[in-house]
């Protein structure tokens, strides 16, 4: 009862805003405007069987996955990273809209529940950000999403066995070759990670996959057998 009262007080003082249009959500109990939700760029067409990018051509894999070695086994994303989602994720990461993570995570749970169940992972592993960025932002967006997913999917989450030891540039500022170099050696793993054989990496965006690949490569070196990923958004395929 006290929790419900406290939530009502917080909602009154700090009304929830829609992750898509960023206006105050009118419908009580909703975490996004229903009109915005139906317009989301949900990926419904053919997907790459490796990275989940939507594809316009026939075949099993996108151009990237046909020509590049990935260290992960498979991945899944719910939404295309279009202009609307670029603005939404920017607000989430850089403008204090931490509550948007709940919406993203619940969207992922609904669309990816079956595939995650098939993967049978041991733990969730959010992509870490550097301590300096955490201090500036106040939170790690991947952890926010990961904690909601952990509770909803009943899968343990670990945020203490991988650290970002290199304060890298933002990947969006770099081209494909620079992105790979940018994250090289950026992560340090504890010995405890070798206790897990099937790991699910959580992040907000997948574009070239350089960050997830670098983490997956390090996990493989520690004996992890299967590495998967979930992201809210993903870039288009070819």
Instruction: Classify the C-alpha dihedral 52-56-59-62 as positive or negative.
Output: negative
The residue ranking higher by pLDDT, 125 or 184, is 125
**99 and 6, same domain (yes or no):** no
Range of the domain at 21: 1-37
**97 and 207, same domain (yes or no):** yes
Tell whether the model's pLDDT for residue 175 goes beyond 80. no
Residue with tokens 């991988």: 162
pLDDT value at residue 61: 93
Mean local confidence (pLDDT), 194-223: 95
**123 and 177, same domain (yes or no):** yes
Q: Beta strand pairing status for 162-164 and 187-189? A: antiparallel
Rounded to whole angstroms, how far apart are CA atoms 162 and 215? 9
**118 and 222, same domain (yes or no):** yes
Rounded to whole angstroms, how far apart are CA atoms 219 and 211? 13
CB atoms under 10 Å from CB of 231, counted, come to 28
Tell whether the model's pLDDT for residue 7 goes beyond 60. no
CB atoms under 10 Å from CB of 184, counted, come to 13
**26 and 122, same domain (yes or no):** no
**84 and 196, same domain (yes or no):** yes
**105 and 130, same domain (yes or no):** yes
**129 and 47, same domain (yes or no):** yes
Work out the mean pLDDT of the chain and round it to a whole number. Answer: 88
Q: At what angle do helices 83-94 and 100-119 cross, to 10 degrees?
A: 110
pLDDT digits (tens, 9 = 90+) for 126-136: 999 988 888 88
**133 and 183, same domain (yes or no):** yes
**103 and 203, same domain (yes or no):** yes
Rounded to whole angstroms, how far apart are CA atoms 33 and 1? 27
Total count of domains within the chain: 2
**For the domain that residue 183 is a member of, what is the CATH number?**
3.40.50
Rounded to whole angstroms, how far apart are CA atoms 62 and 231? 17
* DSSP track, 163-199: EE-S-PPPGGGS-HHHHHHHHTT-EEE-GGGGG-SEE
Phi and psi dihedrals of 182, rounded to 5? -60, -40
**114 and 211, same domain (yes or no):** yes
Residue 170 pLDDT class (50, 70, 90 cuts): low
**157 and 205, same domain (yes or no):** yes
Q: Beta strand pairing status for 198-206 and 123-126? A: parallel
Alpha helix positions (H), the chain: 2-13, 34-37, 63-67, 83-94, 100-119, 131-137, 141-153, 176-183, 210-221
pLDDT value at residue 44: 85
**How many residues belong to the chain?**
238
Of all residues in the chain, the percent with pLDDT exceeding 70 is: 87
């Amino acid at each position: 009862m006290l929790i419900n009262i406290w939530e009502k007080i917080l909602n009154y003082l700090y009304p929830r805003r829609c992750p898509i249009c960023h206006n105050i959500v009118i419908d009580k109990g909703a975490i996004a405007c229903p009109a915005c939700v139906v317009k989301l760029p949900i990926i419904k067409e053919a997907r790459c069987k490796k990275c989940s990018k939507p594809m316009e051509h026939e075949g099993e894999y996108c151009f990237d996955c046909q020509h590049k070695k990935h260290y992960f086994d498979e991945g899944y994303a719910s939404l295309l990273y279009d202009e609307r989602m670029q603005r939404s994720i920017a607000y989430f990461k850089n403008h204090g809209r931490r509550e948007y993570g709940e919406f993203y995570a619940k969207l992922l749970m609904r669309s990816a529940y079956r595939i995650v169940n098939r993967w049978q992972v041991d733990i969730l592993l959010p992509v870490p950000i550097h301590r300096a960025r955490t201090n500036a932002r106040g939170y790690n967006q991947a952890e926010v999403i990961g904690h909601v997913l952990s509770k909803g999917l009943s899968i343990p989450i670990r945020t203490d066995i991988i650290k970002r030891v290199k304060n890298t540039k933002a990947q969006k500022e770099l081209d494909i070759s620079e992105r790979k170099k940018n994250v090289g050696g950026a992560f340090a793993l504890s010995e405890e990670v070798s206790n897990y054989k099937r790991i699910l990496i959580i992040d907000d965006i997948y574009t070239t996959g350089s960050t997830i690949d670098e983490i997956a490569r390090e996990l493989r070196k520690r004996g992890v057998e299967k590495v998967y990923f979930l992201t809210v958004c993903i870039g288009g395929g070819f």
